[in-house]
Chain A
């Protein structure tokens, strides 16, 4: 057993253990984290975006005019790839703000008596939902099963039109898809949909075939864009009122940066042109090969770019440190990692182990490129367990 875990809470490790990832190694590491450095085409445009992209697009002379043209082109890209009417699209700088605008805006219309959400919704989504209680809206939390499927309680036919459902098409932490679309008006949480594969197609289907979608929220980081750009689409037929105090009938940009908007459009064009087959195969391969380890939970049976793996009797922080020493950087939803002391509410709601959790995001991987990572993960899991038990 390791001295580091002999008793009590975690103790300080030797400096040699903490410094195993040198700055040079970190630069060369294979990054499986949710957020990654920008791709080359985005970096090549950065200077233009930041030197000219913040020019006032209302000006018809000078760089403002060019900026206006670029922003209009970006809007058309979002409209085309996401199959949304350009007039429905609003850019928002913050995810919490995007959900708050959507949820409170629909609640403020007075059209809905009940809002349904699920136990695996994002914390800020649940928090925004709680705010609608002040508007006289009743709340209804749906549970999830071990596979991550949301059990939306049935609503009486007379209440369907008055019940607004927050529908998370895909969970960002586990990668699980929800394919059973509930009846009635929907707010689509599309923040974890990558434009590759059928994920975005599902969102487009829901949007194009259902008159029930009220609004939809997309996150530029899901297609390799920058943080700080969220797309809030509001169906023009939906009842929605801006919940923020304003004297201006025209909706503002909600703090969104013009350079980040342009970068997001470039990233979306690049990502949507890629083939999904490689990452799907890599995902399935990892799931199958991890069967050599006992007592692990791999959330759901999802394909696509995300995996969430929970390993019994294993401290995620030490596993992450050892993987990093081999050049593999991953995320974790475990409470034993540094950033958060409470366990993942998503994993807990599903009944999945919350400790020993690592999260992997695949980008341009294939089976061959994930094999070295698999070997490292299996070897460190076995050695850590033998040290601890």
Chain B
């Protein structure tokens, strides 16, 4: 699992860094996004719906992203 450390970054950088990392590493299937920005959680929900990738909340600052098989945070 590739870690994307976005701690300290403000919206929309965590989502942009995630999208960029997924584009740069097409063979990687899962990613660990670390972010403490309050907008990340609601935006990952929308991002999952728009891109078809799935998101699982690990804790308040950690989100596991898996390509495809979209599932929202709820």
B47 near A: Cβ within 8 Å? Answer: yes
The answer on a CB contact under 8 Å between A389 and B19 is yes
Say yes or no for B38: interface residue by CB 8 A criterion: yes
B45: chain A residues within 8 A (beta carbon): 351
* Interface contact B16-A343, CB-CB below 8 Å: no
A9 within 8 A of B: yes
Is the CB of A329 closer than 8 A to any CB of chain B? no
Which listed residue, B13, B47, B49, B51, touches A5 by the CB 8 Å rule? B13
Across the interface, A315 reaches (CB within 8 A) one of B12, B38, B46, B51, namely B12
A343 and B39 contact, Cβ closer than 8 Å, known pairs A354-B11, A355-B11, A356-B12: yes
CB pair A310 B38 closer than 8 Å: no
Residues of A within 8 A of B70 (CB): none
Given contacts A295-B51, A343-B39, contact A335 B11 (CB under 8 A): yes
Residue-wise interface mask of B (23-54) relative to A, using a CB-CB cutoff of 8 A (1 in contact, 0 not): 10000000000000111001101110111000
Does B71 sit within 8 A of A, measured CB to CB? no
Known: A297-B46, A351-B46, A354-B42. A389 touches B20 (CB 8 A): yes
Query: How far apart are the CA atoms of A93 and B74 in the complex, in Å?
Result: 41
B43 to chain A, nearest CB (A): 6
Instruction: Classify chain B: how many residues form its interface, as a range.
Output: 20 to 34
Q: Which residues of A contact B19 (CB under 8 A)?
A: 312-313, 389
CB of A210 within 8 Å of the partner chain: no
Q: Which residues of A contact B38 (CB under 8 A)?
A: 335, 341-343
Pairwise interchain contact A335-B10, C-beta atoms closer than 8 A: yes
Is B57 located at the chain interface by the 8 A CB criterion?
A: no
Determine whether A265 belongs to the interface, using a CB cutoff of 8 Å to chain B.
no
Residue interface bits A329-346, CB-to-B below 8 A is 1, else 0: 000001110000111000
CB proximity of A75 to chain B, nearest CB, Å: 44
A14 at the interface (CB under 8 A from B): no
Which A residues lie within 8 Å of B10 (CB)?
Answer: 9-10, 335-336, 341
Minimum distance in angstroms from A284 CB to a CB of chain B:
22
Which B residues are CB-close (under 8 A) to A313? 12, 15-16, 19
Residue B9, interface by CB 8 Å: yes
Q: Is the CB of B46 within 8 A of A352?
A: yes
Q: How far is the CA of A1 from the CA of B42 in the complex (A)?
A: 25
Interfacial chain A residues near B68, Cβ < 8 Å: none
Q: Which A residues are within 8 Å of any B CB, using their own CB?
A: 1, 5, 7-10, 295, 297, 310, 312-316, 334-336, 341-343, 347-348, 351-356, 388-389
Q: A5-B13, A351-B45, A351-B72 are in contact. List 19 more A-B contacts (CB 8 A).
A: A7-B9, A297-B50, A313-B12, A314-B12, A316-B12, A335-B37, A336-B11, A336-B39, A341-B38, A342-B39, A343-B42, A351-B42, A351-B46, A353-B46, A354-B42, A354-B46, A355-B43, A388-B16, A389-B16
Q: B residues bordering A, Cβ < 8 Å?
A: 8-13, 15-16, 19-20, 23, 37-39, 42-43, 45-47, 49-51, 72
